[in-house]
């Protein structure tokens, strides 16, 4: 083991905090540091496992100097600067030395840099991984011969985005694109229980296939090809919500930790159907996001966030404006897919923003004046103060006294123009967007906040619905209490009922778990409670402890810094193996004190075999209901192929919010591979449900198959 070097904590204040984000990969000879060149990632494998409100990702990278002017005898250093989402946390680093895996030791940053530089001078094997800001990290590896490769693994936990339908996490696509020549990215995921249906949301053609390995067990994988043009992609699973709540617990020794995802709308039961006119505007050369990506992100956004009771329409910048439909379209799966399949070159290369906005406003005005606008644009043609004011006056006159909220996503990130207005610098159309959204009661976001297009869309959607003011939320136990809570994202007193609460904390006592929520909604004061019985709580593993510790470290790093605080950060980081601003992960070859990890499992290589692919289930069973629509009872039939494992299927009725309201057990009803269920519009407690649209869902290990039911 390494001997810790004593140091003055005050010296640590000299470390620079970087507030910009970037992904670069360079190789160079540290003896001639003035000359470096872009390096290569020859192989990239990403493993993904859901861990509550976070996902654990293991990124295997193999570096080389392929295609550079270095020769095979040069001794090079690899430097990877990369970005992770805010609130992410690195919890491990491995370095391959020959065939051996060296697991990093976590020590203070000052000592780690001293050791690394000393060993580099002696031409021996170290790697060092450091955190430079809330989102920026750096990995350095030495040595790599000019004709050789070096392999590493970076393990990290990344926060997830939740809706009623889906749980998503951003993939490190930009990190992979830092390579001189992009490799394929192989993704492998291990899911079980209520985590189902893995997919890449933005690309429906990238289908996960079931695989098996003697050592790793069963898993699913997909390859993102090297020619993938998407600047951001998300890994998505079905949301494992029960009545709008996901709750897990981890109990070991003195650590009792819970993770909570909660949708306020599920408890308030007053979600109103959404009507959204989506306006798409594209100006060539103004964004790294392509037209194809924008179309795909929009389709994914509608699928994952709108329910079949919601409605939408699409408008595209053309001359004249291209309007997809004269009426609102239902946001059911079939209509969404058909609408986007019918699009032919919908986006032009030029902006027609004023006409696009005017057309959207007129459409809503003719439809009983109900609906909101969602503008997705990278235009910068109305950036100046005079042009912006003229357009604002025209559009507000057009809206008149109608209530039409305008929500705006600005995805311009190239060739930005700057306009100084009132001693403030506005980029592109920022001045117009800021004021127009504010005047109409909408919201404005842009991708220059280092948040992806899709994540920004989800954030905007959460603001569409009713707002809770004077919001208050509390967690406790019926026989105990909760403490040391960390809530991801907004903790403001004003929030949308669609905005999920993601929280991790500690508890003492016994279940049931209690949620208490209060505030003002539609000018009325409310207070609601929800009790979650022990049988509805998922069991978690030790990653919950690391997630809690990572959030604790993030909080300490963002308060006023003192020697005492720094010492607490370093101590917690070392004890919990979670990287901080004041520590580093250092791998050394065994002769220098590094330890070979004999129980570290390399999940990036090895033989795998195909097993039964769940997507084939589409042709292996059918679902029918009669009558449908129904008034009193519906008879639901599921015809199974002999290849379907019945024990892996789950059957239930869900409402339009994605909440499970009724379950069915098939074992006693199986006759000739045909299952029959009867539903009379009641929930699992035999209570009558309200009339409306419901879904009968057959859940397989990787996919959900649904049939829409109309109960009137």
Sign (positive/negative) of CA torsion 604, 60, 158, 476? positive
Domains observed in the chain: 20-159+165-238+577-592 (2.60.40), 245-268+467-541 (2.60.40), 275-462 (3.40.50.410), 616-711 (2.60.40.1930)
Q: Decide: 313 and 363 in contact? Cβ < 8 Å.
A: yes
Per-residue CA distances from 581 to 7, 348, 543 (Å): 16, 45, 20
Q: Please state, as a whole number, how many other Cβ atoms lie within 10 Å of the Cβ of residue 658.
A: 19
**Helix 385-399 / helix 430-440 crossing angle, nearest 10 deg:** 20
User: For residue 630, which of 664, 660, 653 has the smallest C-alpha distance?
Assistant: 653
Name the DSSP letter for residue 571.
H
- Which residues are within 8 A (CB) of 151 and not within 5 positions of it... i.e. 6 or more apart? 43, 60, 61, 62, 63, 95, 96
The pLDDT score that the predictor gives to residue 345 is 81
Q: Please state, as a whole number, how many other Cβ atoms lie within 10 Å of the Cβ of residue 469.
A: 12
Q: Which runs of consecutive H residues, i.e. helices, occur in 577-640?
A: none
Question: Which residues does residue 56 pair with via DSSP β-bridges, in sequence order?
Answer: 49, 157
Given a cut of 70, the residues of the chain with pLDDT beneath it are 1-21, 32-34, 120-125, 269-271, 369, 450, 465, 490-492, 609-621, 641-645, 656-658, 666-673, 701-704
Helices (H) and strands (E) in the chain, counts: 11, 43
Please tell me the distance from the alpha carbon of residue 363 to that of residue 402, in angstroms, as a whole number: 12
* Burial status of residue 387 (CB atoms within 10 A of its CB: 0-12, 13-18, 19 or more): middle
The pLDDT score that the predictor gives to residue 610 is 63
The pLDDT score that the predictor gives to residue 269 is 63
The pLDDT score that the predictor gives to residue 91 is 96
Please tell me the distance from the alpha carbon of residue 74 to that of residue 255, in angstroms, as a whole number: 50
Phi, psi of 632 (to 5 degrees): -110, -55
Biggest distance spanned by C-alpha atoms of the chain: 81
- Which residues are within 8 A (CB) of 120 and not within 5 positions of it... i.e. 6 or more apart? 30, 77, 126, 142, 143
- The CA-based dihedral angle spanning residues 328, 329, 331, 335, taken in that order and rounded to the nearest 10 degrees: 180
- Which residues are within 8 A (CB) of 308 and not within 5 positions of it... i.e. 6 or more apart? 330, 331, 332, 333, 656, 693, 695, 708
Per-residue CA distances from 591 to 96, 145, 657 (Å): 14, 20, 59
The pLDDT score that the predictor gives to residue 556 is 95
Q: Which helix (H) or strand (E) holds 211?
A: strand 209-213
The pLDDT score that the predictor gives to residue 121 is 62
């Amino acid at each position: 083991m390494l001997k810790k070097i004593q140091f003055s904590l005050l010296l640590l204040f000299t470390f620079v905090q970087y507030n910009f984000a970037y992904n670069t990969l360079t190789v160079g000879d540290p003896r001639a540091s003035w000359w470096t060149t872009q390096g290569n990632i020859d192989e990239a494998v990403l493993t993904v496992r859901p861990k509550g409100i976070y996902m654990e990702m293991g990124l295997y990278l193999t570096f080389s100097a392929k295609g550079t002017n270095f020769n095979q005898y040069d001794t090079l250093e690899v430097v990877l600067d990369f970005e992770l989402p805010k609130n992410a946390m690195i919890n491990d680093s491995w370095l391959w030395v020959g065939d051996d895996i060296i697991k990093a030791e976590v020590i203070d940053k000052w000592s780690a840099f001293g050791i690394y530089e000393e060993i580099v001078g002696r031409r021996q094997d170290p790697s060092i991984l450091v955190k430079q800001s809330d989102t920026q990290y750096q990995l350095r590896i030495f040595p790599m011969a000019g004709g050789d490769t070096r392999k590493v693994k970076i393990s990290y936990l990344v926060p997830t985005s939740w809706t009623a339908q889906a749980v998503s996490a951003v993939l490190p696509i930009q990190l992979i694109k830092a390579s001189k020549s992009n490799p394929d990215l192989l993704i492998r995921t291990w899911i079980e229980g209520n985590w189902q249906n893995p997919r890449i949301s933005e690309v429906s053609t990238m289908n996960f296939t079931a695989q098996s390995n003697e050592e790793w067990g069963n898993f699913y994988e997909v390859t993102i090809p090297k020619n993938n043009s998407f600047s951001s992609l998300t890994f998505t699973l079905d949301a494992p919500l029960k009545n709008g709540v996901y709750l897990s617990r981890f109990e070991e020794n003195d650590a009792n930790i819970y993770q909570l995802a909660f949708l306020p709308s599920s408890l308030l039961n007053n979600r109103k159907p959404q009507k959204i006119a989506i306006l798409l505007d594209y100006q060539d050369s103004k964004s790294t996001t392509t037209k194809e990506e924008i179309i795909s992100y929009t389709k994914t956004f509608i699928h994952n966030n709108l329910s079949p009771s919601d409605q939408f329409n699409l408008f595209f910048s053309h001359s004249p404006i291209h309007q997809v439909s004269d009426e609102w379209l239902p946001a059911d799966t079939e209509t969404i897919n058909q609408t986007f399949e019918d699009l032919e070159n919908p986006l032009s290369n030029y902006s027609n923003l004023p006409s696009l906005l005017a057309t959207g406003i007129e459409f809503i005005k003719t439809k009983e004046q109900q609906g909101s606008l969602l503008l997705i644009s990278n235009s910068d043609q109305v950036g100046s103060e005079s042009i912006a004011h003229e357009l604002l006056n025209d559009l507000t006159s057009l809206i008149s006294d109608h209530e039409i909220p305008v929500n705006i996503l600005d995805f311009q990130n190239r060739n930005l123009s700057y306009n100084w207005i009132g001693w403030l610098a506005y980029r592109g159309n920022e001045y117009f967007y800021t004021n127009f959204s504010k005047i109409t009661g909408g919201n404005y976001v842009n991708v220059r906040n280092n948040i992806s297009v899709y994540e920004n869309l989800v954030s905007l959607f959460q603001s569409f619905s009713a707002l809770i003011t004077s919001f208050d939320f509390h967690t406790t136990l019926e026989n105990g209490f909760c403490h040391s809570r960390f809530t991801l994202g907004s903790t403001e007193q004003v929030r949308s009922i669609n905005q999920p609460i993601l929280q991790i904390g500690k508890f003492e006592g016994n279940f049931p778990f209690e949620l208490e929520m209060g505030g003002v909604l539609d000018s009325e004061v409310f207070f609601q409670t929800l009790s979650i019985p022990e049988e509805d709580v998922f069991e978690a593993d030790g990653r919950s402890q690391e997630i809690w510790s990572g959030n604790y470290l993030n909080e300490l790093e963002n308060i006023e810094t003192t020697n005492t605080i720094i010492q607490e950060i370093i101590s917690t980081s070392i004890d919990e193996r979670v990287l901080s601003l004041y520590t580093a992960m250092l791998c050394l070859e065994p002769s220098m004190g590094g330890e070979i990890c004999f129980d570290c499992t390399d999940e990036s290589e090895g033989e795998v075999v195909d097993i039964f692919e769940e997507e084939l289930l589409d042709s292996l069973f059918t679902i029918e209901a009669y009558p449908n629509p129904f008034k009193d009872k519906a008879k639901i039939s599921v015809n199974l192929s002999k290849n379907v494992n019945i024990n892996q299927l789950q059957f239930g009725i869900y409402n339009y919010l994605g909440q499970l309201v009724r379950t069915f057990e098939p074992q006693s009803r199986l006759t000739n591979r045909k299952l029959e269920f009867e539903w009379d519009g009641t929930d699992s407690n035999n209570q009558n449900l309200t009339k409306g649209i419901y879904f009968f869902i057959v859940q397989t290990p990787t996919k959900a198959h649904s049939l829409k039911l109309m109960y009137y």
